[in-house]
Amino acid sequence: MKLLRTIRLDPSDTFVFERAAEPGEWAVSGGFMFSDDDPAQLQGKARTAFRAGFLGVDSLGWSTLVQIVEATGEDRAALVDALAQRLIRNFGAPDLEAARAAADEEVSFAESLCTQPADTLIAVHRAFENGELREAFRTLRPRGGPKPLRAFSFLDVEGEDETPADQVDLVTLAQGERK
């Protein structure tokens, strides 16, 4: 079985998100984090997380990219348990049974994204359209087979047909941190 882990190819996540996930955390899509928000009202780092973040389960931080990794049944069970605990502690799930069901659904969805070979990277573009949350995923693989993962060396992209309407300006976001 395969699951998702956060990955950090450069330090940008630490300044584009309010809280960056630590590299190597188990991850889920995290769209549920915005269920009580009006996406049109989100600004700054919250807007960036909404548009392009995967949720690291341990830290509840965000990662721009996740990596498909091999996992065991025990890893999956531990991930469901950890997410269920966070749903109770941080999001008001009514009880463990409800939290586990929701966590299992989130993990199953993350698992469904893992159709590519291990070490493939995935990026998300999230939007709110016609009253519904919409997520589009892109896979990034090294050209010509497995190679060491380096920022900016990924050339084969699937899902490029759907270009995000807005682009994130990392330089401007970084400069905003200094002001």
Query: Could you write out the DSSP letters of every residue in 88-128?
Result: HHHH--SSHHHHHHHHHHHHHHHHHT--SPTT-EEEEEEEE
**What sign results for the dihedral spanned by CA atoms 144, 65, 80, 34?**
negative
Residue 59 neighbours by CB distance under 10 Å: 15
- Tokens representing residue 7 in the block: 């990955």
Q: What percent of the chain has pLDDT over 70?
A: 79
Across 50-67, average pLDDT: 96
Digit-coded pLDDT (tens) for 4-31: 999 999 999 999 999 999 999 999 999 8
Report the C-alpha gap between 13 and 178 in whole angstroms: 16
pLDDT the model gives residue 172: 58
pLDDT at 174: 54
Among candidate residues 122, 117, 170, 179, the one with its CA nearest the CA of residue 11: 170
pLDDT in the model for residue 176: 56
110-151 pLDDT, tens digit each:
999 999 999 999 999 999 888 888 999 999 876 665 555 555
* Distance from chain centroid for Cα 142: 20
Q: What is the pLDDT confidence band of residue 39, given thresholds at 50, 70 and 90?
A: confident
Residue 155 pLDDT greater than 60, yes or no: no
Mean of the per-residue pLDDT values of the chain: 86
Distance CA 142, CA 148 (A): 8
Res. 41 pLDDT band, cuts 50 70 90? confident
- CA quadruple 150, 162, 45, 89: dihedral positive or negative? negative
